Amino acid sequence: AAAAAAAAPPKPRKTKIHFVPVGSAPLMKKTKFAIASDQRFSSVTNFLRKMLKLSGTGGSLFLYINCFVPSPDQLVGDLDECFSVRGELVVHYSFQEAWG
């Protein structure tokens, strides 16, 4: 199956992201978003900062998938393939370091 997938031309995909707050981080009205799979993870971070109105401040924001922080240059689509659960990529976010 994996080999068959390799032969197909890449088509524009979306990754479903489910944001989950940790600790003192606020719960957003909307928690589920679809993002183009060819984006880098830095785009997810920037997006969440905007949603939480942190863009102009120096406020720290930590994003986790499972218990790790993805590298900002990782492809959303790759993270989706490796770490999604039931079709969505769960991203935990926190103002403090949650998993050291």
Partner 1 sequence: QYAPVVLGGDRAGGMIVRAAPPDDDLDGSGQAAAASRSRARSGSNASADQLQTSRRRSESVGGGAAADEGGSHKEAEQENDGSAVPVCWFEDESSGLALRWHLFTGTLFDLSSKRNISKGNGLGNGSGNSNTALPWKLRVHFTSYPTNQILAFDISGSSVMPTIQRHYMNSLKQALFLQHGSTQVAMNICKADHRKLWDAVVSSNYHLYGEINAELQADVRQNGGKNGSSSTDGGGGDGTGNEGIRNIPVRVLVDSKPAVQRLCPPFWGNTDADSAKSAVAATLGDVLLLFSPNLFERKRRQVSSSKEEAEESDNDTDKVDKQPKCLETSIIPTESLVWVVQGIAEIPLSFPIGQIWSTLCSPDHFLYVSVITR
| Contacts to partner 1 by CB under 8 A | 1-7, 10, 14, 16-17, 30, 32-36, 38-40, 42-43, 46-47, 54-60, 62, 66-75, 78, 81-83, 99-100
Asked if 26 and 52 touch (Cβ cutoff 8 Å), the reply is yes
* Strand pairing class (62-64; 14-21): unpaired
To partner 1, the closest distance from the beta carbon of 27 in angstroms equals 15
Q: How far is the CB of 95 from partner 1 (least distance, A)?
A: 10
Give the shortest CB-26-to-partner 1 separation in angstroms: 17
3-state secondary structure of 48: helix
The residue among 21 and 81 lying less far from partner 1, judged by its C-beta, is 81
CB 43 within 8 A of CB 17: no
Nearer to partner 1 by C-beta: 17 or 25?
17
Q: Which helix or strand (DSSP H or E) is residue 33 part of?
A: strand 32-36
